[in-house]
Amino acid sequence: MREAIRLSRDKMRCGAGGPFGAVIVRKGKIIARGWNRVTSANDPTAHAEITAIRAACRKLKTFQLDGCELYTSCEPCPMCLSAIYWARLKMVFYANTRRDAARIQFDDNFIYGEVSRPVSRRKIPMNQLLRPEALKVFAEWKIKTDKIAY
């Protein structure tokens, strides 16, 4: 956890992005580090947890991080929480809470609320188009014999 906190402080101070750091550990050893690069990479998805997950997957040459733990300087936002589940991390440790983050203008309560709303009631309009055409691709995937399931 101290390494995640160190990354959050050092990368914030050098202008890489917001005050967030993360490390991924496997069998007691750090295998990947990540920090917030939203502003330095012009990438709204470059949160510390996401950049750490990307680095760990590249290093291990896999898209799942079974058996790995994430240490992050702050409770994960909704996007990072989803990525944690997709990556199949076995455990998460965090330092600051989402309420601590809200106090410094990193407030994700709006997004938590939007996720739970019906699609028709979200702030960003979402309109369904061409479902029958898209369903044909899903049908093809279902019978594909050489797919890599995840």
What residues are annotated to the active site? 49
**Measured between alpha carbons, how far is 60 from 24 in angstroms, rounded to an integer?**
11
* Crossing angle between the packed helical segments 78-87 and 109-116, to the nearest 10 degrees: 60
Cα dihedral value 28, 32, 36, 37, nearest 10 = 170
**Measured between alpha carbons, how far is 52 from 35 in angstroms, rounded to an integer?**
7
**Measured between alpha carbons, how far is 150 from 145 in angstroms, rounded to an integer?**
14
Q: Give 43's contacts (C-beta < 8 A, 6+ positions apart).
A: 37
Contact 30, 51 (CB under 8 A): no
